[in-house]
Structure 1
């Protein structure tokens, strides 16, 4: 093992989040999982969604990767709804499939976000950092990117380059 996966949680397949992933992954150093390719229902205390794609996806992620990087656009000052549902489902690994959840201990987590402007609000990364802490993962950090027209802003590209050094 020793490899890295980017888990993309955007509502748009070929939007700005994908542009950041393409820039970050220009040397194909990482695998990419697009959550739009999976059917993942919301968390349910009775685990009624246990037969959807979440648990098989997590089995794959946990068995194949040491570093998990979450990629999300900023929607209404928060992670995307797609990413939020995924994060809520981590609760399955704390109750329904504890043995699988325990295997996250010692793995690494990072996050990058993006929006149209350099306007990320303080505290955006808190759910990622605290989830990593709770799960016993090592949080490698995060970065935010923004755009000038259709292109990634130059300053944001510098931040992405620094970020990539942390997660390699």
Structure 2
């Protein structure tokens, strides 16, 4: 059983976030979940989306993995909308699926972000760190990757940062 899953939260399955994940996962050490391939509706207090893919996905993730790594592009100085919807749905685990949510306690969380430059703004990691803290998870780190001017290749510095991040896992 693989202990780590990378949860890709991008609007593009094979864009730059995928490139970052592919670099990090070159030895196929981690499983990947692409949220774009899932039907996950917005959080609402009436739980009208309770029959979508979110709860079955969380049941699988919680049962199989000790470490969850969230991978997101930087959209408007924040995580992608795709990943934000997923984070909002964690509220389901605090309301009508409390026993499932409690099983996140003690698991590890990390985050990978990427953009076209080494320009991650202060505060970007706060939602990840605070969510981990609130859920009783261990926040074990984050890394930002960026691409060359033509946006086709990771910079050497970004690759080095990703290598160091992987070692820290």
Q: Are 2:2 and 2:31, in contact at CA under 8 Å, matched by a contact in 1?
A: no
Write the deviation string for residues 15-42 of structure 1: whole angstroms up to 9, x where unpaired: 1000000000000000000001110000
- How far off is 1:151 after superposition? 0.4
Which ranges in structure 2 are unaligned for 5 or more consecutive residues?
Answer: none
1:40 aligned partner: 40
Which ranges in structure 1 are unaligned for 5 or more consecutive residues?
Answer: none
- How far off is 1:2 after superposition? 6.1
TM-score normalised to the size of structure 1?
A: 0.98
Query: What SS class does the counterpart of residue 127 from structure 1 fall into?
Result: helix
Root-mean-square deviation (CA, aligned residues, Å) is: 0.8
2:115 aligned partner: 115
Q: Are 1:2 and 1:67, in contact at CA under 8 Å, matched by a contact in 2?
A: no
Q: How many residue pairs end up in the alignment?
A: 167
**Matches of 2:136 and 2:18 in 1, distance apart?**
28
TM-score normalised to the size of structure 2?
A: 0.97
1:125 aligned partner: 125
Q: Are 1:11 and 1:36, in contact at CA under 8 Å, matched by a contact in 2?
A: yes
* Structure 1 runs, 4 residues or longer, greater than 2 Å off: none
